[in-house]
């Protein structure tokens, strides 16, 4: 078995107000997987994501990214390996043009010249925003901004991309286009979402968090055909959507 891209072992975390957020969470994500991270609001999903690139440091347990411990003295390399695409792309886009935004991360890693130009062009091409390179991100649609945010993460050469609610505020056509882009990226992905049909479409495997604990780690299709389990953990499929009828 290869070294997991993400290896979380017995992770627990309590906020300063004594609110427990994660309780003995253990999780492996391997190279090339696309895994959905599901759960009701307040389940601990965001807290887990913030641990993956060192925004939060484990109080108990450990996290390794391709074998590298998530620790304060390795945060620069951890954050290169783990690219996080936030729910609101405006939290990530702040440079005058798309090209400058996509260049920002690799430049801060010391990349320059032809290497930088090639990395940026490849990232923009991968998500279909090369034609927007000279436009201000503020003038783009929400869906375009999301693709630019993904390009900025890709340009860092990550080993895993974590996407927080990637389909929020997208119309059906843009949502479908985004799914196609993510499917073609060829990089390990952890997709945090309440969009259960999107999780079923994109992720063969799903991990469910509830009250800070992992309550399921199984094939997505199996979880979504278990109505009692979904109801117990406040996960709801859209009205009329029956995963058992899908190919």
Residue 10 belongs to some domain of the structure: yes
Is-contact 129 98, C-beta < 8 A?
A: yes
Residue 25 belongs to some domain of the structure: yes
Average pLDDT over residues 90-114: 92
Predicted pLDDT at 2: 72
CATH of the domain at 11: 3.40.50.300
Kindly indicate the confidence band of residue 245, based on its pLDDT and cuts at 50, 70 and 90: low
Question: Containing domain of residue 136, as a range?
Answer: 6-245
Residue 201 belongs to some domain of the structure: yes
Does the structure show a pLDDT above 80 at 244?
A: no
Average pLDDT over residues 1-27: 92
Average pLDDT over residues 99-111: 92
Does the structure show a pLDDT above 80 at 1?
A: no
Predicted pLDDT at 243: 76
Predicted pLDDT at 239: 80
d(CA 16, CA 102) in angstroms, rounded, equals 35
Predicted pLDDT at 246: 63
* Number of domains composing the chain: 1
Q: What percent of the chain has pLDDT over 70?
A: 98
Please give the residue that has the higher pLDDT: either 216 or 239. 216
- When computed from its CA atoms, the radius of gyration of the chain, rounded to whole angstroms, is 18
Residue 123 belongs to some domain of the structure: yes
Predicted pLDDT at 238: 86
Kindly indicate the confidence band of residue 3, based on its pLDDT and cuts at 50, 70 and 90: confident
Average pLDDT over residues 58-70: 94
Q: What is the DSSP string of the chain?
A: -PPPSEEEEEEEEE-TTS-EEEEEEEEEE-TT-EEEEE--TTSSHHHHHHHHTTSS--SEEEEEETTEE--GGGHHHHHHHEEEE-SSGGGT--SSSHHHHHHHHHHHTT--HHHHHHHHHHHHHHHT-GGGTTS-GGGS-HHHHHHHHHHHHHTT--SEEEEESTTTT--HHHHHHHHHHHHHS-SEEEEE-S-HHHHHHH-SEEEEEETTEEEEEEEHHHHHT-HHHHHHTT--PPTT--GGG--
Which tens digit of pLDDT belongs to each residue from 112-152? 899 999 999 999 999 999 999 999 999 999 999 999 999 99
Residue 1 belongs to some domain of the structure: no
Does the structure show a pLDDT above 60 at 183?
A: yes
- The set of residues, in sequence order, having a beta carbon less than 8 Å from that of 93 and lying 6+ positions away, is 101, 137, 138, 145, 148, 149, 152
Residue 105 belongs to some domain of the structure: yes
Residue 74 belongs to some domain of the structure: yes
**Structure pTM?**
0.93
Least confident residue range of 50-64, 193-207, 229-243:
229-243
Q: Identify the CA nearest to 201 among candidates 236, 235, 247.
A: 247
Predicted pLDDT at 208: 98
Kindly indicate the confidence band of residue 110, based on its pLDDT and cuts at 50, 70 and 90: confident
Average pLDDT over residues 184-189: 94
């Amino acid at each position: 078995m290869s070294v997991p891209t993400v290896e979380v072992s017995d992770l627990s975390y309590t906020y300063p107000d004594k609110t427990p957020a994660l309780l003995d969470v253990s999780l492996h994500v391997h190279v090339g997987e696309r895994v959905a991270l599901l759960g009701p609001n307040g389940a601990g999903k965001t807290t887990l994501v913030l641990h993956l690139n060192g925004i939060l440091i484990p109080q108990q347990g450990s996290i390794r990214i391709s074998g590298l411990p998530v620790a304060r003295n390795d945060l620069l390399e951890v954050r290169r390996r783990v690219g996080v695409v936030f729910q609101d792309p405006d939290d990530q886009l702040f440079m005058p043009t798309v090209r400058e935004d996509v260049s920002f991360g690799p430049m801060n890693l010391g990349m320059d010249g032809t290497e930088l130009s090639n990395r940026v062009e490849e990232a923009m091409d991968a998500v279909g925003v090369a034609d927007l390179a000279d436009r201000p991100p503020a003038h783009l649609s929400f869906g375009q901004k999301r693709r630019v945010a993904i390009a900025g993460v890709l340009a860092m050469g990550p080993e895993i991309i974590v996407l927080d609610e990637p389909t929020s505020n997208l119309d059906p056509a843009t949502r479908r286009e985004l799914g196609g882009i993510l499917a073609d990226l060829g990089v390990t992905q952890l997709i945090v979402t309440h969009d259960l049909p999107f999780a079923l479409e994109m992720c063969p495997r799903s991990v469910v968090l509830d009250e800070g604990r992992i309550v399921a780690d199984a094939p997505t299709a199996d979880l979504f055909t278990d109505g009692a389990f979904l109801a117990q953990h406040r996960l709801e499929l859209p009205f009329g959507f029956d995963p058992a009828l899908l190919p």
